[in-house]
Structure 1
Amino acid sequence: MTRARSLRRTALVWITALLAVAGVITAGAAYRYNESEMAGFLDGQLRQIALNAGPGLAVDNAPTAPDQDPEDSFAVTIWDVAGHLVHRSLPGADIPLQPRSGFADAQGGGETWRVYTLYGKTGAVQVAQRMKVRDEIAGNAAMGAALPVLLLIPLSWLVVGLALHRTLRRLDGLAHDLATRGALAKDPLPLADLPAELRPLVEGMNGLILRLNAALAAQKQFLADAAHTLRTPIAAMQIEIGNLAANAMATSQRPRFDALAAGARRAGALVNQLLRLARLDEPAQPRRAKFDTAALLLDCVADHSPLACHKGIDLGAAIAPRAMIWGDEEEIRTLFANLIENALTYSAAGGKVDVTLRHTEAGFSAEILDAGPGLPPGAEAHVFERFYRAAPQAAEGSGLGLAIARRIAERHGFGLEVRNRADGASGVLARVTMPDCPT
């Protein structure tokens, strides 16, 4: 097993390398820039000193520096003891003699000068330099130091971004695994190539996944065992209730027998739905085959016609022919049957339920539209929850029909929505969207 890389150590190494490279580049660039800027100025200083070292030196014999700027010239002025002008290197620089030795700022020839004055026994010497030249030198030095840093900012972003991308790339894969993981997934999250700091977190998440899977498995096993165990006594109870109802002579007892029989039927239906839900929760994929969902939906409508007639509900169908899809035919039959039965359950006598199937660009869309009371506010977010009933006062229903329908839709990759009608009328619309069968 390879040793896990440390996120902290990796980031420290990259940042240290970046700072080292940036320091070397900055120092080298600043040195080269200032060297080139100062070379010409220093050469000019050498020339000025040579020209003013003594009398009788011809300017024509003094070649200029390669990049010498006339503004870089010093203004050297010499006075004798009596105060008479002896020498002036720049005729246009009329800078007055300062009253004392030392540095000072002075005006001359319409410019500001930085002046150094020296008094001696034989006279006075005053050397002046333009202030704008000094400001230019300072600005160039600052630019020489700042420019490499400014150029290294985008490089720093690039290097740090690359380091973070390489270090955190595995986190993107981990986030993708979590986002695409199903609720029933049992495989642990991979630990390969994870930073050392994140391994305890992911190992803790894997432990939580194992505990959740164990709890879900125990819950499903209990549900299946309980439903399977209840089937036999409920079936026996239904038989005995039928025998008692057939032998009961007193007509006054008939309503009690009918209520008892209805309760037994609902209990039997609930047990069957619990068993079906337990089977649908298994991770095994449904058996897929190609079949005509239009014919299947017509059969479901026909199966529920007696219930609709008994309740006085107009059950109609408008189904497009030849709607071929892939899937488990029995599971999809249960899906449609639950939706139609749900619509009939919550529709009052004299109501209407319309079942339609039409072609769409993506495949087929089956809709069950009723004219019942509709869903109460806030119920649309809970209709697929197990044992949730939008109208608890209704005598029929167990609250599992839509939960089973959603589970079947998820197993087949169908879209399923149940919401109030949007045409202003009262009622609920249930829509199932199915992909077309590839040829």
Structure 2
Amino acid sequence: MDASGLGAEAFGDWFDALDDGLILVRGGRVVRLNAAAGRLLEVDPEAAVGVPLIGVLRDHRLETVFCEGGEVELETRGRVLRAKATPTSLLLRDITEARRAQESARELLAVLSHELRTPATAIRSSLEALRYPLPEEQRERFLAHAEAETERLVRLLDDLTVDVKPPRLRSLALREVLARAEALLEDTFEAHRVRLKTDVPPLMVWADADKLLQVLINLLENAAIHGPDGATVHLSARPVGSMVQVVVRDEGTPLPQGGIERLFEPHARGRRVKVKGTGLGLYIVRSIAQRWGGQAWGRPLPSGNEFGFSVPLKGSAQASEPPR
């Protein structure tokens, strides 16, 4: 684009009004660049005139695009740029927000995949059992189980993710929610020959029933799958101030403390994993616990590892510090 038909001032206004960055080049030196390019490259447009292109770009990948032609996406100066070359110019488009939106969408799908697996598996197991002749009482129990998990599936789809809607907090008996989690993980425990030992007093907590179930399932399933087969998984709970601390202990090889904290990041997975997964279980545990005012943590033990979370006692919403 040249300035034919436009006065110099009008062309300058149009040039600087462009949303995309545009750099005009002649003989390997910058002839002109607009305000958007100045912002993206963090340079003064006026001071850049006459400077060799690489001195303005300060990125050999961008210089290569201009010299060789074509189009490329790359990250530079904390932004994701799409660069497109013509014989006399380089066009820069900031696509950082678009890529973040795509990343958020992928994260949402990954969370859904992770959290929908348990109720979907429970429904399938119940339906498979109903194929066989069963006493009426057993049939009703399987039907009620499938119906309850179907309702939970609908609520999970309603929520979309742990961050979309506020939790539906109410008074819950911790033992009852734990019993439901244990029933849902019965096949997993059996497959890994894992025994579950619990020490949970009759405590009433203030939480979202579905989310509390999610947290318990994630921690217990992790201990069963990633810990040694044939071992015992211990779950205990105790009141500490205004919170209840729930901890799950396995008998696996102690992990380094820094490695444990990294497991709470999205898509993080341990070095010795026995099955494929999304690496979102502990990230979801911490996200949920923080929403109701609690915390989630992990730490190595002399002979195993501990992962836990805190949840408010009935009528309380104050968070506590993880155990030292």
TM-score, normalised to structure 2's length? 0.49
Larger proportion of helix: 1
State which structure, 1 or 2, has the greater radius of gyration over its C-alpha atoms.
Answer: 1
What is the TM-score normalised by the length of structure 1?
0.37
